C-alpha cells in the first residue's frame, strides 16, 4: 500500500542524505520526496511516498525515527489528510490542439503559465492521481516535458506535526 510519511528534522547538512541513504541501505523504495525548511528555519519538513506492507512501513518509520536528526514523523495515510502535488507540463499545441488543451486545462482547473505559437506550459495542482489523469488525457506524443514536485501532505483538523 502507498504511504505518505512526513518527517520533521533538523535543517542540517547531511540530514537529507541520511534519510535517502537509509532507503537504499535497507532496500525500501521511495516513489517521491520533497523537502524544504519550515517556518522555524532550524527545522526541515520532508515528505516522502513509499509502498510496502504493514511490516515494511513499521520498519521504515522505526528506522527513520532512529536517525539522530529526525525530530518527529507521522504516517499521514494513517489518518485523514490532504495531499497535493504540483506539476509543470509542457505540451505541443498546434491548430485544433490549442483549444483541446485549453479545455482540458479548464476541466482540471489548471493554469496556462507560458505560451508560444506551438507550446503551452501548464501548471496543475492536486493529488498525484489527478496529475496522472491529466497526463492520460493529453496525447502522449504531444507531451514535451513533465516536472512534478512530489507529494506534500498535511493532516486534516487540529492534528499538527510540530516540536
Partner 1 sequence: MELLSGADMVARFLKDEGVEYIYGYPGGALLHIYDALFQQDAVEHVLVRHEQAATHMADAYARATGKPGVVLVTSGPGATNAVTGIATAYMDSVPMVVISGQVMSHLIGEDAFQECDMMGVTRPIVKHNLSVKSPEEIPMILKKAFYIASSGRPGPVVVDIPKDMTTPTDRFEYVYPKSVKLRSYNPVSRGHSGQIKKAVDLLMNAKRPVILAGGGVISANASEELIELAQHLNYPVINTLMGLGAYPGTDRQFLGMPGMHGSVEANMVMHHADLILNLGSRLDDRITNATEKFCPTAKLIHVDIDPSSISKTVAADVPIVGPLESVLGEILKQVKASTIETDAESHDSWWQQIEEWRGRHGGRFRTDDSELLKPQAVVEALCDVTNGDAYVCSDVGQHQMFAAQYYKFNKPRRWINSGGLGTMGFGLPAAMGVKLNFPDDDVICITGEGSIQMNIQELSTCLQYNLPVKIICLNNQSLGMVRQWQDMNYESRHSQSYMKSLPDFTKLVESYGHVGMEVRKPEELQATLDKAFAMKDKLVFVNVYVDPFEHVYPMQVPRGSMRDMWLNKTERT
Residues 44 to 103: which contact partner 1 by CB under 8 A? Answer: 55, 58-59, 62-63, 65-66, 68-71
Which is closer to partner 1, CB of 50 or CB of 128?
A: 50
Could you tell me the smallest distance in angstroms from the CB atom of residue 39 to partner 1?
16
**22-41: contacts with partner 1 (CB under 8 A):** 25
Tell me how many residues contact partner 1 (CB under 8 A).
Answer: 20
CA distances (Å), origin 52, targets 33, 39, 105, 121: 16, 31, 33, 35
Binding of residue 18 to partner 1 (CB under 8 A): yes
Binding-site ranges for partner 1 (CB under 8 A): 9-10, 13-14, 17-18, 21, 25, 55, 58-59, 62-63, 65-66, 68-71, 163
Amino acid at each position: 500500500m502507498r504511504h505518505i510519511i512526513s518527517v520533521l528534522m533538523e535543517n542540517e547538512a547531511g540530514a537529507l542524505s541520511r534519510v535517502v541513504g537509509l532507503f537504499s541501505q535497507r532496500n525500501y523504495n521511495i516513489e517521491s520526496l520533497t523537502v524544504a525548511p519550515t517556518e522555524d528555519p532550524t527545522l526541515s519538513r520532508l515528505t516522502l511516498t513509499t509502498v510496502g506492507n504493514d511490516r515494511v512501513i513499521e520498519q521504515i518509520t522505526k528506522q527513520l525515527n532512529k536517525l539522530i536528526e529526525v525530530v518527529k514523523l507521522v504516517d499521514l495515510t494513517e489518518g485523514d489528510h490532504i495531499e497535493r502535488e504540483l506539476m509543470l507540463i509542457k505540451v505541443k499545441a498546434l491548430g485544433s490542439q490549442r483549444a483541446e488543451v485549453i479545455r482540458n486545462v479548464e476541466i482540471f482547473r489548471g493554469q496556462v503559465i507560458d505560451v508560444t505559437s506551438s507550446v503551452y506550459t501548464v501548471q496543475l495542482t492536486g493529488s498525484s492521481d489527478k496529475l496522472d489523469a491529466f497526463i492520460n488525457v493529453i496525447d502522449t506524443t504531444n507531451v514535451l516535458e513533465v516536472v512534478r514536485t512530489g507529494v506534500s501532505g498535511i493532516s486534516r483538523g487540529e492534528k499538527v506535526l510540530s516540536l
